[in-house]
Amino acid sequence: MENPQEKIGSLQRRGFWRDLQSLWQGLGLTWRHLFQARERRSPLHIADPNYFQQDTGVVTLTYPYESLPVPENGRYRLHNEIDDCIVCDLCAKICPVDCITIESVKATEEIGETSDGTKKRLYAPVFDIDLAKCCYCGLCTTVCPTDCLTMTKVYDFAEVDIKNMIYHFTDLTPEQAEEKKKLWADQQEAIAVAKAEAMKARQQQKGE
Amino acid sequence: MWALPLVLLLILGVVVIIFYAERKLSAFMQDRLGPMEAGPYGTLQFAADLLKLLQKEDIVPAAADKMLFKYAPLVIFASVLAGFAVIPLTPDLVPSGTPIGLFFLLAIVSLDVIGLLMAGWGSNNKYALLGAMRSVAQIVSYEIPAGLAILSVVIIGQSLDLQEISFQQGVHLQQFPGYAQEVNYLFGLKELGIDVTHVGGILSWNIVRVPLLSLGFIIYFIASLAECNRAPFDIPEAESELVAGFHVEYSGFRFATLFLAEYAMMLLVSLVAVILFLGSWNTPFPNMGPVRLADWTTGTLGAWSGNLWAFFWLVNKALVLMVVQVWLRWTFPRMRVDQLMHLCWKILTPAALVLVLIAAVWRLLMI
């Protein structure tokens, strides 16, 4: 009562008229939003200077038709660059949810070089990542010695059939895998035979 | 004879419009888009919803009172539909032009509460029963301020015939049987001596004819929101306490019927508000000298033009009121049950009683 400002201030008023005023303000608020719905917020990148300037208009994103831009370093879906993979099995070992399955076949000779110069000596007939299990912790990408396992910015990879969530990264067909296995076995056999013959020859030499 | 199909068509048409509008308006008020997928801008969403409701299983709880449970939606919808019988759609078309139309309307719509109790009791579910009790308590309470506000209109208009009340509020006044000598004065006051009988438009609407009736309109409108269980008075639905009120056990087509009854009730109370306070099927534009706006937008009585204009104005005014109902719903939070009763018995009812008194005095001044 002493302060005339208080008498004018709407919040200081009590009772019926204040209630009426606040009801009216509420109606005004929704009415304003109703007309602001003619505008729509555009899907801007977070880095855009106008990102926080859009404070009116419809916020809904009609998702399959439009989507928010993802940061360049977004880490969502695992990808294995099989050409760079040396099949060391580290990722499968560190994975907390065991979503990576690797089988390996030894090669008869050096089969190539990764982009960082590491020698490749193993084939991978199976390199599966079950992305339905993946918990996106990124541990596999940190332990990977050749940086062939990375998380990409693809985030929309839902599937109707959960079996399609298992990604096969191997570059060998089953026939090729069999062939490589056979080659390795043959080579081992040949080595064993050669060894046995050499042993025999040495014993014969001793005997004479 | 074809009044029933016509009224049903009107109800369904308006329900379709307001059902879509409610979703879109509520979305826009909350910075959303609302339905977008079914049809252009989601216009076919209601059809999709209807199909979904129709193919749902018709569940009747094993322990329910089957008879009451099954017939409750019928009673509720029938009582609301019966209310439409006395609504004048145009100067010529009124399904049942009885001289006690308003009285009949109030009486028959009250049967609604029996249907609600049947639904709540028949469901054999304590939540449904509580919801029904709250619903019924609310509707019975709010009939008093609504009835008093209507009574003040009856005092001013000296009639219970909705068609007669409609004629009083427009340029066709003297065409009503027995009204050849009647004259509309500005604000209803003969003392002012301003004859507006042939000016019509908004000047002859009840809220202008007797400005106090705009207060009556507000009282009636608030009470009517509660009567059709609309927000902010939708405590029967109070989902945090009561799941979904008296219709919690209903599914499929029975639920659709209850839903339709709610929207039909919205339309009915809006139509009654329009007829009693907002000039019924009369145009809002007055005649101004040579610019005969009222005559141009009223058409000829008894001809196609007259009927079409009247129908156009009636339905559009009702739609505007229904949009206001939607607007209120998406603005105000739901009231607590004690606040609801406080508003009804301590604010609206005394105000309506005073209004009736003043209306009676005003009527004396009008003679």
Phi and psi at residue A177, in whole multiples of 5°?
-60, -45
Nearest CB to A33; choose among B31, B33, B328? B31
Whole-angstrom distance, CA of residue B356 vs CA of residue B108: 23
Residue B24's alpha-carbon distances to B16, B19, B258, in angstroms, are 12, 9, 22
Across B38-53, average pLDDT:
89
Residue B304's alpha-carbon distances to A47, B201, B221, B297, B309, in angstroms, are 63, 20, 32, 13, 9
Q: Which helix (H) or strand (E) holds A150?
A: strand A149-152
What is the model's pTM?
0.81
The pLDDT assigned to A13 comes to 60
**Helix intervals (H) in B55-161:** 66-83, 101-110, 112-122, 126-157
Q: Does A23 touch chain B (CB under 8 A)?
A: yes
The pLDDT assigned to A1 comes to 46
Whole-angstrom distance, CA of residue B359 vs CA of residue B367: 13
Going B231 to B115 to B5 to B301, the CA torsion angle's sign is negative
* Residue showing tokens 């026939």: A175
Whole-angstrom distance, CA of residue B31 vs CA of residue B28: 5
pLDDT over threshold 90, residue B152: yes
Per-residue pLDDT tens over the stretch B25-43: 999 999 999 898 888 888 9
Do residues B95 and B8 touch, judged by C-beta distance below 8 A?
no
The pLDDT assigned to B218 comes to 94
Whole-angstrom distance, CA of residue B348 vs CA of residue A33: 30
Whole-angstrom distance, CA of residue A165 vs CA of residue A144: 22
The pLDDT assigned to A9 comes to 53
Whole-angstrom distance, CA of residue B103 vs CA of residue B80: 14
The pLDDT assigned to B149 comes to 94
CATH no. of A78-185? 3.30.70.3270
**Helix intervals (H) in chain A:** 4-8, 16-36, 90-94, 139-143, 174-207
- Least confident stretch, B47-51, B87-91, B332-336, B350-354: B332-336
Q: Does A20 touch chain B (CB under 8 A)?
A: no
Whole-angstrom distance, CA of residue A88 vs CA of residue A122: 8
- Identify the residue among B29, B215, B327 best suited for mutation to test binding to A, counting A beta carbons within 10 A and taking the highest: B29
Whole-angstrom distance, CA of residue A58 vs CA of residue A69: 18
Written as one string, the DSSP assignment of B228-260 is TT-TTS-TTT-HHHHTTGGGTT--HHHHHHHHH
Nearest CA in chain A to B232: A23
- Least confident stretch, A71-80, A84-93, B1-10, B113-122: B1-10
Do residues B76 and B116 touch, judged by C-beta distance below 8 A?
yes
The larger pLDDT score, comparing residue A168 to residue B198, is at A168
Structure tokens belonging to residue B157? 């208009």
Structure tokens belonging to residue B251? 């599914």
- Least confident stretch, A66-80, B66-80, B288-302: B288-302
Indicate if ipTM > 0.85: no
Chain B residues touching residue A31 (CB < 8 angstroms): 29, 327
| Low pLDDT (below 50) residues in chain A | 1, 10
Residue B257's alpha-carbon distances to B54, B69, B78, B323, B331, in angstroms, are 11, 13, 10, 22, 27
The pLDDT assigned to B345 comes to 93
Task: State the greatest distance between any 2 C-alpha atoms of chain B, in Å, as a whole number.
Answer: 71
- In chain A, what are the domain boundaries? 1-36, 41-69, 78-185
Q: Does B27 touch chain A (CB under 8 A)?
A: yes
The pLDDT assigned to B240 comes to 60
The pLDDT assigned to B294 comes to 82
- In chain B, what are the domain boundaries? 55-366
CB contact under 8 Å between B28 and A58, yes or no, is yes
pLDDT over threshold 90, residue B293: no
Instruction: Give the three-class secondary structure for B227.
Output: helix
The count of other CB atoms within 10 Å of the CB of residue A165 is 16
The pLDDT assigned to B314 comes to 92
CB contact under 8 Å between B331 and A62, yes or no, is no
Residues comprising chain A, all counted: 208
Per-residue pLDDT tens over the stretch A156-191: 888 999 999 999 998 888 898 889 889 999 999 999
Residue B332's alpha-carbon distances to A62, A167, B73, in angstroms, are 28, 51, 28
Nearest CB to B32; choose among A27, A31, A58? A58
Angle among Cα B44, B49, B55 to the nearest 5 degrees reads 130
Bridge partners, B195 (sequence order): B185
pLDDT over threshold 80, residue B328: yes
* Residue showing tokens 């129709």: B54
